[in-house]
Amino acid sequence: MRLKNKKVTALIRFIPNLLTLINLSVGVVGIILAFSPYMEYAGFCILFASVFDYFDGFAARLLNAQSEIGKQLDSLADAVAFGVLPGIIMYQLLLMSQGAYFVPFHERDVVVHSISLLALLIPACSVFRLAKFNVDTEQTVNFRGLPTPAMAIFVGALPIILGEQLDFNYYLPLDEVSLANQIEYRYWDEFDVFVASALQSSWVLLILIVALSSLMVSNFTILSLKLNGFSWKENQWKYTILGLAALTLLLSFLPNWIWVPGYPFVEWVAFPLIITELVFLSFLKKVLNK
């Protein structure tokens, strides 16, 4: 009986690691999908992986199953799901923006390779950020640098916006003919044209790569969403972020339920907006506390 109880206890304590391995597996599936004609599914894999990433830590604390191997396993899984996968997505988007997505690898010119390979900054800075987090004992209340899951959610939303929201999964840059067709047959408004054009711009994508990578490896304090009890005084900034994120999601998907004349279909653009709000409020808190 005692041996059986030990096995049950060991099995229960393995649950957080199992969730971490699922996180890893979802990331690997996302990498496969990132090379498919449906890149938006790779973006959804990042969102799913972030759920498992949250619950593995929650389960570890709930079951008192925190361990050094669990900590290292979590970082390795995050490196794949929130480092390698968003890097590949950004690489593919850069190819698309240059009209080289369907060009065989050996036929792409040096400029295309040079620009597209800048996407490697994302996995490189992600791994550096994760290693830095593992040895930093002061990141218990807030984060130093943008967390890799937040960066990955930002990047993962980009192909979802193109493929799921705008239904533009041709993997070719917009030209006058394709833009006119989208406006006529997909009923794109000015907001849709602006978003699609931005995500088809190599310059915009490169700016995002540099900005997100720099934020990850910086010492800039980013607010954590882990609550210290439930009091407003101790968690006012965290409640503000959560409330603003909920409001952003509600307003972004509102036209799907209630038609408002002239109101844009923001939808999945909400996720990059929420990450931007997190960074802005973290900066605002730092300024106001001085």
Closest CA to 154 of 213, 201, 68, 241: 213
Q: What is residue 71's predicted lDDT score, i.e. its pLDDT?
A: 82
Closest CA to 270 of 170, 147, 165: 165
Quote the CA–CA distance of 167 and 58 in Å, as a whole number.
36
Burial class (CB in 10 A: 0-12, 13-18, 19+), 274: buried
* C-alpha dihedral, 201 to 205 to 207 to 210, nearest 10°: -160
The pTM of the whole model exceeds 0.85? yes
Q: What is residue 98's predicted lDDT score, i.e. its pLDDT?
A: 93
Contact call for residues 49 and 31 (beta carbons, < 8 A): no
Contact call for residues 196 and 188 (beta carbons, < 8 A): yes
| C-beta neighbour count of 266 within 10 angstroms | 19
Distances (CA, A) of 279 to 112, 137, 159: 31, 22, 22
Q: What is residue 9's predicted lDDT score, i.e. its pLDDT?
A: 57
Partnered with residue 57 across adjacent β-strands are none
Quote the CA–CA distance of 74 and 80 in Å, as a whole number.
10
H/E/C letters for each residue in 124-190? HHHHHHHHHHHHCCCCCCCEECCCHHHHHHHHHHHHHHHHHHCCCCCCCCCCHHHHHHHHHHCCCCH
Contact call for residues 83 and 126 (beta carbons, < 8 A): yes
Partnered with residue 143 across adjacent β-strands are 222
What is the domain count for the chain? 1
Q: What is the pLDDT along the chain (290 residues), one digit of tens a residue?
A: 554 555 545 566 678 888 889 999 999 999 999 998 889 999 999 999 999 888 877 776 777 767 778 788 888 999 999 999 999 999 999 999 999 999 999 899 999 999 999 999 999 999 999 998 888 766 666 788 999 999 999 999 999 999 999 988 778 888 888 888 888 888 888 999 999 999 999 999 999 999 999 999 998 889 887 766 666 677 788 888 999 999 999 999 988 888 877 788 899 999 999 999 999 999 998 888 75
Q: What is residue 40's predicted lDDT score, i.e. its pLDDT?
A: 95
Burial class (CB in 10 A: 0-12, 13-18, 19+), 215: buried
Amino acid code (one letter) for 106: H
Q: What is the DSSP letter of 222?
A: E
Partnered with residue 270 across adjacent β-strands are none
Contact call for residues 87 and 119 (beta carbons, < 8 A): yes
Quote the CA–CA distance of 216 and 143 in Å, as a whole number.
10
What is the phi/psi pair of residue 222, to 5°? Answer: -110, 130
Quote the CA–CA distance of 157 and 149 in Å, as a whole number.
12
Within the chain, residue ranges assigned H as helices are 2-13, 15-34, 39-62, 68-79, 85-97, 110-116, 121-135, 148-160, 176-185, 190-199, 202-217, 232-253, 270-288
Range of the domain at 211: 2-288
